[in-house]
Amino acid sequence: MDDERIWSFEESLWKTSEDRYHEKVDPECVMALSHAPNLVRGDDAVRAVSGTPDWDDVEFSDRVVSRPQEGLIVVGYHVRARKDDTRFSAACTSVYRRKGHEDWTVVQHAQVAT
């Protein structure tokens, strides 16, 4: 996956429906979130982020991409998100695993609110 597709994929997870989480978050995903229950995995990870807003505006900065091995992509970035009067900013990491041709899932995501 090229860098443009990576950032489009990541942004789509910030501006998405609950169905998209079920589709793109791996059943073995581990997440560390800025809100309780903070550390979750698998279906609990999907449930933990399902109630977040479908952000209207998402801005990434300090974007970093690493490809430590074939079929694995690691990204890091700062995010600022807005939905109506709600604002959120955090430093984030995500790890994607390729399951098949053009089929990637999130196996790790972490957020540290800033």
pTM score of the predicted model: 0.89
77-112 tens-digit pLDDT: 999 999 999 999 999 999 999 999 889 999 999 999
Between the alpha carbon of residue 55 and those of residues 36, 52, 66, 82, 107, the distances in Å are 20, 8, 26, 6, 22
| Total domains present in the chain | 1
Identify the domain containing residue 52 by its residue range.
3-113
Q: Above pLDDT 70, what percent of the chain?
A: 96
Between the alpha carbon of residue 54 and those of residues 67, 78, 96, 98, 106, the distances in Å are 28, 18, 21, 25, 18
- The CATH number of whichever domain residue 107 belongs to comes to 3.10.450.50
